[in-house]
Structure 1
Amino acid sequence: MAKNILTTLRMATGILTSLLLAGVSGNVLAMSPFQASYQFAYNGKNVGSATRTLSKNGNDWTYVFAAKAAALASASETSRFSFDNGKISANSFSRNSKVLIHNSTMNINFNPATKTINTRKDDKARSFPWQAGVLDELNAELQVREDLKNGGLKNGYAIADAKEVESRQFVKQGNETVKTAFGTFDTIKVVMKHDKAGKNSVFWLAPKLDYLPVKMTHQDGKTSYSMSLTGYKN
């Protein structure tokens, strides 16, 4: 069970990062630091919590996701990048996870000067071609927001993981009111496309909180998880 909980925590990170700010905003706001906290549920039972924190020092930005499922598992991810004229330039990404006494790590370094992306997952190292605009799982959500503010979403976003760069897509599906521990919000409902039958990811994004996801659910066969907002500070 511990392994399944950690897997869903890490899946939540990747899915939320590519969809956090998918929607249409009439207000052009600058990207700014914030912190959000969530309750995490696995198969309908509350088992842990998570936080997402964006900070900056000059033009050096850091985005951190941290989650913990009781005493069984924990995971953290950190993205470092620069930001100029509405475009994010990825510098590095790291992930550390633990299930009971078992640890796992992943690191990605983006090297535009040498046109390479170097990765290491545990003891397996890889290298593949760098391309302009490639993002990591965390800073992708921030690029989505900036694109929305400046004209609209792209057809796909190139996101690097340990093995390759892949394109991700998502669609908007109407509006809904969502109640959370932090309050009730008018939201835009967004669904991420999956090729696998029985797999479904849904996100509810609140314009009032700069399109932060106040709720998300993921179903994969008999396994499900959800995250619901418990706090937000800008």
Structure 2
Amino acid sequence: MAKTVFKTLGITAGLSTVLLFTGMSQAFAIAPFQASYQFNYNGKNLGSATRTLSKSGNNWTYVFAAKAGGIASATETSRFSFNNGKIGSSSFKRNSKILVHNNTLTMNFNPSSKTVQTQKDEEKRSFAWKADVLDELNAELQIREDLKGSGLKSNYYIADAKEIEPRKFVKQGTENITTKYGTFNTVKVVMKHSKAGRETIFWLAPKLDYLPVKVTHVDKKTSYGLLLTDYKGASN
């Protein structure tokens, strides 16, 4: 269960979303930031998480890290380029630890050979390239940039260990969310799941460049989520 928690939180940390704005100023172009979160599991505070976006030239690095006491931890790292409003995926890596058990996933994106190569622990795979393919983490940033332009696409193609699959996000109104960092007017967005009993919701704050200030995920009788505690970066 903890492994599923951290994978989904990586996606949610990774897949924030939604408000259809056009004509935004350059102040809202993709920019480095750091955000801290409280992590809860079935309504209980269990640990903390951070998102950090940094750059060197046109090489960007996005890191999501989470800890649940001494029980589990996970780190995800996405490397990519950014040109004309589009992210070009380069690599992705996830390390997770649950008690004494370690799991690793790596993905390398190769546009020249039109392949995506992955390795989950000892299992290696290679599958066909898809235009504008993203990973679970940088998809969040692409969606945020799209919302400042022409709006969300009908689908976003995201790679995992076994395949590239389309995912859809749906806007469901606005809501005020109170966090330790402040109260924000947010856009509520739902990520659609193919399996019954699962629901992932994001609350995105336009004031913080559409940063997710709250995320929840329900998987039948289990729930977990993130709530913002601190932020350093672009704001409106």
Question: Normalised by the size of structure 2, how large is the TM-score?
Answer: 0.94
Alignment partners' CA distance in 2, 1:15 and 1:216: 7
| AA at the equivalent of 1:230 | T
The reply to whether residue 9 of structure 1 matches residue 6 of structure 2 is: yes
Partner in structure 2 of residue 50 of structure 1: 49
Contact 2:91 2:109 in 1 (8 A): yes
Alignment partners' CA distance in 2, 1:13 and 1:94: 11
Contact 2:180 2:229 in 1 (8 A): yes
User: What are the residue-to-residue correspondences of 1:197-216 with 2, within 5 Å?
Assistant: 197-216=196-215
| AA at the equivalent of 1:57 | S
Deviation of residue 198 (structure 1)?
2.1
User: What are the residue-to-residue correspondences of 1:102-117 with 2, within 5 Å?
Assistant: 102-117=101-116
Partner in structure 2 of residue 157 of structure 1: 156
Alignment partners' CA distance in 2, 1:16 and 1:154: 19
- Greater Cα shift, 25-34 or 62-71: 25-34
User: What are the residue-to-residue correspondences of 1:110-189 with 2, within 5 Å?
Assistant: 110-189=109-188
Deviation of residue 146 (structure 1)?
1.7
Alignment partners' CA distance in 1, 2:162 and 2:196: 24
Structure 1 gaps of 5+ residues are none
Deviation of residue 15 (structure 1)?
2.9
CA distances 1:171-205 after superposition (whole Å, capped 9, x unpaired): 00111111111111111111111232222211111
| AA at the equivalent of 2:70 | A
Deviation of residue 130 (structure 1)?
1.1
C-alpha RMSD of the superposition: 1.1
| AA at the equivalent of 2:101 | H
CA distances 1:141-161 after superposition (whole Å, capped 9, x unpaired): 111122222211110011100
| AA at the equivalent of 1:10 | K
Alignment partners' CA distance in 1, 2:119 and 2:84: 31
SS in 1 for 2:132: coil
Alignment partners' CA distance in 1, 2:14 and 2:134: 11
Contact 2:21 2:149 in 1 (8 A): no
Alignment partners' CA distance in 1, 2:154 and 2:171: 13
The reply to whether residue 24 of structure 1 matches residue 20 of structure 2 is: yes
Contact 1:64 1:78 in 2 (8 A): yes
SS in 2 for 1:208: helix
| AA at the equivalent of 1:131 | K
CA distances 1:53-90 after superposition (whole Å, capped 9, x unpaired): 00000000000000000000000000001111111110
Alignment partners' CA distance in 1, 2:219 and 2:37: 21
Number of equivalenced pairs? 230
Alignment partners' CA distance in 1, 2:55 and 2:121: 29
| AA at the equivalent of 1:24 | L
Partner in structure 2 of residue 232 of structure 1: 231
Could you list the structure 1 runs, at least 4 aligned residues long, displaced by more than 6 angstroms after superposition.
none
Alignment partners' CA distance in 2, 1:16 and 1:97: 15
